[in-house]
A and B are shown apart, each in its own frame.
Chain A
Amino acid sequence: MPLELKGVTKRLGADTHIYPADISFADGSFNVLLGATRSGKTTMMQLMAGIQQPTTGEIWHGGKNMTRVAVQKRNVSMVYQQFINYPMMSVFENIASPLRVTGLAETDVKKRVGTAAELLRLTPMLDRKPSELSGGQQQRTAIARAIVKDSSLIFLDEPLANLDYKLREELRDELPKIFSGRSAIVFYATTEPHEALLFGGNTLTLHEGHITQYGPTAEIYRKPNSLTTARVFSDPPINVTKVVKKGKSLAVFNGEKWPLAGTATKLADGEYHLALHPHYVLPTTENGATGVVKGKVLVTEISGSESVVHVDVGGHTWVSQSHGVRPHKVGEAATFFADIGHALFFDSEGKRVS
Chain B
Amino acid sequence: MNKTWNNRAWWLVLPVFLMVAFNALVPLMTVVNYSVQETFGNNEFFWAGSRWFEDILRSDRFHDALLRSGIFTLLVLALEVPLGLGIALTMPRKGPWVSVCLVLMSLPLLIPWNVVGSMWNIMALPDIGLLGKAINALGINYNYTRQPISAWFTLVLMDVWHWTSLVALLCYAGLVSIPDAYYQAAKIDGARPWAVFRYIQLPKLRHVLTIAILLRFMDSFMIYTEVIVLTGGGPGNATTFLSIDLVKYALGQFDLGHAAAMSIIYFLIILFASWLFYTLMMRHQEQ
Contacts and interface: CB of A to CB of B under 8 A. Distances in A.
Interface of A: 46, 49, 51, 71-73, 76-78, 80-82, 84, 86-89, 97-98, 101
A84 B196 CA distance: 13
Nearest to B185: A84
Contacts of A72: 187-190
B189 to A, nearest CB: 5
Nearest to A89: B199
Q: How extensive is the interface on chain B, given as a class?
A: 10 to 19
23 contacts: A46-B184, A49-B188, A51-B184, A51-B188, A71-B187, A71-B188, A72-B189, A76-B188, A78-B188, A80-B179, A80-B181, A80-B184, A80-B185, A81-B181, A86-B199, A86-B203, A87-B199, A87-B200, A87-B204, A89-B199, A97-B189, A98-B188, A101-B191
Q: Which 6 A-B pairs have the closest CB atoms?
A: A72-B190, A80-B181, A87-B203, A101-B190, A88-B203, A84-B185
A187 to B, nearest CB: 14
A77 B199 contact: no
Nearest to B202: A88
A159 B188 CA distance: 17
Nearest to B182: A84
Contacts of B188: 49, 51, 71-72, 76-78, 98
Interface SS of B by simple majority: helix
A311 B145 CA distance: 86
Given A80-B181, A101-B189, 19 more contacts: A46-B184, A51-B184, A51-B188, A72-B188, A73-B190, A78-B184, A80-B179, A80-B184, A82-B179, A84-B181, A84-B185, A86-B199, A86-B203, A87-B203, A88-B199, A88-B203, A98-B188, A98-B189, A101-B191
B196 to A, nearest CB: 10
Interface string B169-201: 000000000010110110111110000000110
Contact of A78 (B185, B199, B200): B185
Nearest to B204: A87
Contacts of A71: 187-188
A84 B189 CA distance: 12
Contacts of A80: 179, 181, 184-185
Which of A46, A73, A84, A98 has its CB near the most chain B CB atoms (within 10 A)?
A84
A243 to B, nearest CB: 46
A49 B181 CA distance: 13
A71 B199 CA distance: 20
Contacts of B184: 46, 51, 78, 80
A72 B179 CA distance: 19
A49 B189 CA distance: 12
A75 B93 CA distance: 28
A144 to B, nearest CB: 13
A76 B182 CA distance: 15
B265 to A, nearest CB: 39
A170 B181 CA distance: 24
B141 to A, nearest CB: 48
A77 B199 CA distance: 19
A48 to B, nearest CB: 13
A88 B203 CA distance: 7
Contacts of A81: 181
A46 to B, nearest CB: 8
Contact of A82 (B181, B190, B200): B181
A71 B186 CA distance: 10
B187 A86 contact: no
A84 B186 CA distance: 10
A86 B181 contact: no
B199 to A, nearest CB: 5
Contacts of A86: 199-200, 203
Contacts of A82: 179, 181
B187 A51 contact: yes
B228 to A, nearest CB: 44
A87 B179 CA distance: 13
Contacts of A97: 189
Interface string B73-117: 000000000000000000000000000000000000000000000
A59 B21 CA distance: 71
Contacts of B200: 86-87
Which of A46, A72, A81 has its CB near the most chain B CB atoms (within 10 A)?
A72
Which of B188, B191, B203 has its CB near the most chain A CB atoms (within 10 A)?
B188
A140 to B, nearest CB: 15
Contacts of A46: 184
A89 B198 CA distance: 11
Nearest to A80: B181
